[in-house]
Amino acid sequence: MSASSWFDGIPVLGDLPVAQAAAKLHEMGEETVAEQLIRGTQSTPGLSFSLPWSSSPRAKDYPYSHTTHAFGYIPPAAPGNTSLSIYSISSIRADPTLRNNRLKITLDRLRAASYPGKGMHHILIHFFGKNQLPGKEEELHFNATYRVQSGEHAAIQGYPIFVGLTVGGEGISFRCRTINIKNEDDEAFLKFLDSDAFTSGLKLATVAQPAIEPLSKMALGIARMVASRHQNVSIQDFDLGLDFSQITTRAPLAEGSYVAVQVPERDNIIWNWDEWIYQRTSGLIIKKNNAEKTLPHNYLVFSISRYEEDEGISI
């Protein structure tokens, strides 16, 4: 199954038609938001209930309704630097020494600034990548679950996703989807993902591993099932192709941290990373000239580093 078809027919919340988005919000206990959404569409000439929610005038008030992302990059820094600049990924240079090398990819931050529902959120994150071995590509799917309080970030740092990923001559593909889980049966079912077998990342070798394909298919099947269930909904979905070209509109592959922020389309046009910094001590992205103002959007931070051979390989 290709990455482009991994969640076909299961759109994120912002891509749902207004009527379906309102119904989903009702399921998740957001009755007021759902009613405002319906009223706002009824009072706006030319808007249809079949249009995506992100086109509704009420969508701008709810960060979880956006389908656009802004992508930033934080370069590796020496110890002691507490405030780090964030750069647009289109302004950095690829590192050609990573070509045909092996990488470790980790999830370093998950910020739930605004998710539908109140209180504690149970979030499943599904990751996709490709292990580009000589003569064969392995499609990789991996799930991880986190609990995070509304308006806060999850207690994670350096959570392994892909360990020992082989980079091809053209770079890597990386895709991610977050799913907000309110269905109590699914919450209980997914507790097994907290076991050691699923918290050490997908560990890869330099040769094809027969177990990788069925494990990946199982991970994708679980994520699709959960995303389609009553009271659950997908929030973020982004796709990055990180390569070695110097084409300005592409995303370069380099060691460092990548930030994916869920923002409105209108904000993405004028987004300026110079206004924000990463604060090491708190693990938050804050306003450069106002340390008390945090980034008011949902975001993830994942990092890429060279794989160290002594980290070991197993499944």
- Please give the full DSSP string across the chain, using - where no structure is assigned: --GGGTTTT--BGGGSBHHHHHHHHHHTT-HHHHHHHHHHHHTSTT--TTSBGGGSTTGGG-GGG--EEEEEEE----TT--EEE-EEGGGS---GGGTT-EEEEEEEEEE-SS-SSSSEEEEEEEEEEEEEETTEEEEEEEEEEEEEETTSB-S-SSEEEEEEEEPBTTBEEEEEEEEEE--HHHHHHGGGGGSHHHHS-EE--SS--TTHHHHHHHHHHHHHHHHTSTT-EEEEEEEEEEES---TTSEE--SEEEEEEEE-HHHHHH--GGGEEEETTTTEEEETTEEEEE--S-EEEEEEEEPPGGG----
Cα–Cα dist 175/242, whole Å: 11
Q: Enter the tokens of residue 193.
A: 């993902």
Looking at residues 86-104, what average pLDDT do you find?
Answer: 95
Q: Tell me the per-residue pLDDT of 269-315, one tens digit each, with 9 for 90 and over.
A: 789 999 999 999 888 999 999 989 999 999 999 999 999 876 544 43
The residue among 45 and 175 whose pLDDT is bigger is 175
pLDDT of residue 198: 59
Read off the pTM.
0.90
Q: How far is Cα 150 from Cα 62, in angstroms, rounded to an integer?
A: 13
pLDDT-based confidence at residue 4 (cuts at 50, 70, 90): very low
Q: Is the pLDDT of residue 241 over 90?
A: yes
> Around Cβ 202, how many Cβ atoms within 10 Å?
26
Task: Indicate the pLDDT class of residue 268, thresholds 50, 70 and 90.
Answer: low
Per DSSP, the residues of 15-63 read GSBHHHHHHHHHHTT-HHHHHHHHHHHHTSTT--TTSBGGGSTTGGG-G
Nearest to 164 by CA among 196, 136, 132, 137: 132
pLDDT bucket at 177, cuts 50 / 70 / 90: very high
Q: Would you state the pLDDT for residue 81? A: 76
The pLDDT of 33-42, averaged and rounded, is: 82
What is the pLDDT at residue 135? 82
